[in-house]
A and B are shown apart, each in its own frame.
Chain A
Amino acid sequence: LATTAPFEQKPREGSYAALAPLMASAEGGARAFQMLSRLAASSGGILDAGALARLTVDHARDLLGADSAALYWWQPDLEVLSLLADNDPAAGAHPPPLQPVEGAAGVAFYRCEPLLIEDYPAWGHAVPWMVERGVKAAAATPLVVERRAVGALVARSRFIKAFTAQQVETLVLLAGQAGPALEIARLFFESEQRCAEAEGLAELARQCASDPDTDRVVSLVTESACRLLGADYAGLALTTPDGDRAWRSVWGTRTDAWRSVERLRGRGPVTRALEQRRTIVVERLGESADFPLANLPLHSAEGGRTTLATPLFSREGALGALVLGWRSDVHLSQRQVRLAEALAGHAAVVFDSVRGRERLAARADEVKKLNEDLERRVVERTSELAAANRELEAFSYSVSHDLRTPLRSIDGFTQVLLEECGDRLDEAGKNHLERVRRATHRMGELIDDMLTLAKVTRRALDREDVDLSAIARSVAQELHALDPTRQIRWEIEDGIEAKADAKLMRVVFENLLGNAWKFTSKHERAVIAFGKAFGAEPVAYFVKDDGAGYDMAYADKLFGPFQRLHSLGQFEGTGVGLATVQRIIHRHGGRVWAEAAPEQGATFYFTL
């Protein structure tokens, strides 16, 4: 073989001059000329490469008086010469492609020069199946465009030495016509195909943008893949949340095998494509040792001969794979593989967003349900609370009216008894009656305190800017008025304001300052203070006294209703006051606590 650069045309002297001897034969020349011009005329408008190729081989056969002619075209990405047309009736439907140095066409293409083989079976580059078909002689010429071989035209005969050099030159002339025409047709086809691909991708993008669900996207992608790649059937295997893969949709399939297979077995091209993260093409299905037909139940059911599986990846990992199938042996070009990958990539993006959207929608649904549930529960609780409040109010109302009435009778008639029959009672008797009266008063106080506690619970909280210092001062004045002789130094910090319920805060101060006033009563002099605790966060306020204090060991009982840490003999009280304070502070969302020691005073802190 020539070692010069393959496929490239060498300068040829007098290729057109070679027409002269041809033309010299009047009959042959006229016929050749007629044929060539007819070809030129008829091929001028043809943009179908297949039709053009068929026309060319027919002309070649007729011009050269050959038995058959064939036209091969170079596939750069596959590096083979594939058959475009062959008018030999013995040529099969799917003839194998030629390697660049195989047969007359292959060698003519490779050397980029015409070739005359007088004894084909004896020729070193003969293709066995051509010899089997009875080819004895061949003439071949490259198809040249822009000085590069793009294919080859070959004429064959069943007779040895059937072709002359002149006939080869005729073939060269014919190829000179056919080459550019075919290239134009090919370029036209390619541009049309690219347009169709671009349109197909754009259409897919448009459809996917219109808010489809997963099923719609699946059918759009598989349909587009079949149309753009000329596949006979297509399917999308999508990974399920538990890591399995299942066919979500198929297009153009004939068998139910796809529907019935829910889980992929994991030995086919899909698994391989996902594992290797690349496109897997399997040609001549069933003949491949890599993928025995037994592992490919779907393709074998479809009668598939060629398949392509390309993975769908998103940021979250493998989504699945796009699978295409052809029922014929096709040679997939790199362009086709890239197109399939583009489709898969496109589908991955769309699925990603569809799944994201579905997840968002599901989450939104969940949130909506939770909200509805919450609202319903709030309504329920509110009405329960309202009912409880109504009951409490009715109860309080009744207590307020009816529980006090008998106390008045007890106290009143005890008094009457003392007044009217006092002279008939001894001191012990009078003392007993005084005890009855004291108990009655205490019961009255208890009732009033309980009513206050109940009121604190059911009253609506009315927060406003409140001058706590002013409330404290006002309560201090009231306490002072109770016993002006007591020597108490009130240290009330000025200008302490808070957002709180003024009426309830007054109850807080009545209790806290009242307690301080009460528990300092055994001391000759006392200091009672109200202020803001330094540096506390959230802001804490305090009421402090230097009175009797109490043992912190019982601090847990301090705020329980009816709990008292001092005996009645020591200090009066109902034990409801601090419970009321705590209730009010809690209703403000605050906290109340105390620090104290026996005979060292007590400090109550609260936040709001």
Chain B
Amino acid sequence: MNGATAVRNNPILLVEDNPDDETLALRALEKNHILNDVVVARDGAEALGYLFPEPGHQDTMPQVVLLDLKLPKVDGLEVLRRIRQDARTRHLPVVILTSSREERDLVSGYSAHANSYIRKPIDFAEFTEVVHQIGLYWLVLNETVPEGAS
């Protein structure tokens, strides 16, 4: 993989409750030489806790959020809505990465202003390719709003 992937070092926030999927996702990232830190949130509440920390704790904003929809406690759509409601995270790139491509999920995902919607392929080789594309696009090609701008 090309070395440009490491240019920006903000972490990737992976919101994923299934440990198998987590392992496979991390492996796919690794295989694609994506060297960003990966923060894993295992449910919606954890994701929100990371994005909106207690005063005094300042976490680094992720460069991209990979968000599953079916999550314990707070589901993915709700997490997305909160992200879009808050000025600090309004422009944060959020990629929905989930099992389903039910019309209902697609419509509500885009309605809540997801930047992208990707269905996890069953084939691990395909999944690795998907992760490669995500990395290339969101970590390298895509320009985001600079921090502090609104």
Contact = CB atoms under 8 A, between A and B. Distances in A.
Contacts of B69: 401
Nearest to B24: A412
A377 interface: no
Contact of B21 (A408, A415, A441): A408
Contacts of A413: 20, 24
Interface residues of A, number: 23
A393 B103 CA distance: 11
A408 B102 contact: no
Interface stretch (B86-94, B119-127, B133-141): B119-127
B104 interface: yes
B33 interface: no
Interface in B16-66: 18, 20-21, 23-24, 27
Interface of B: 18, 20-21, 23-24, 27, 69-70, 98-104, 120-125, 127
A441 B126 CA distance: 11
Interface string A525-538: 00000000000000
B127 to A, nearest CB: 7
Contact of A401 (B70, B121, B122, B125): B70
A336 interface: no
Contact of B99 (A393, A400, A441, A455): A400
Contact of B102 (A400, A402, A405): A400
Contacts of A414: 124
A583 B98 CA distance: 29
Nearest to A443: B122
A407 interface: yes
A408 B101 contact: no
A383 interface: no
Contacts of A397: 100, 102, 104
A404 interface: yes
Contacts of B99: 400-402, 404-405, 408
A268 B99 CA distance: 93
Contacts of A444: 122-123
A291 to B, nearest CB: 89
A448 to B, nearest CB: 9
Interface in A386-419: 393, 396-397, 400-402, 404-405, 407-409, 411-416
Interface in A215-235: none
A314 B99 CA distance: 79
A409 B103 CA distance: 24
Nearest to A445: B122
A440 interface: yes
A400 B127 contact: no
Nearest to B101: A400
Given A397-B104, A409-B20, A441 B98 contact: no
A499 to B, nearest CB: 23
Contacts of B70: 401-402
Contact of B122 (A400, A407, A451): A407
Given A415-B124, A441-B122, A408 B100 contact: no
Given A409-B24, A413-B20, 18 more contacts: A400-B100, A401-B70, A401-B99, A401-B100, A402-B70, A404-B120, A405-B20, A408-B21, A408-B99, A408-B127, A409-B18, A411-B123, A412-B20, A412-B24, A415-B124, A416-B27, A444-B123, A451-B102
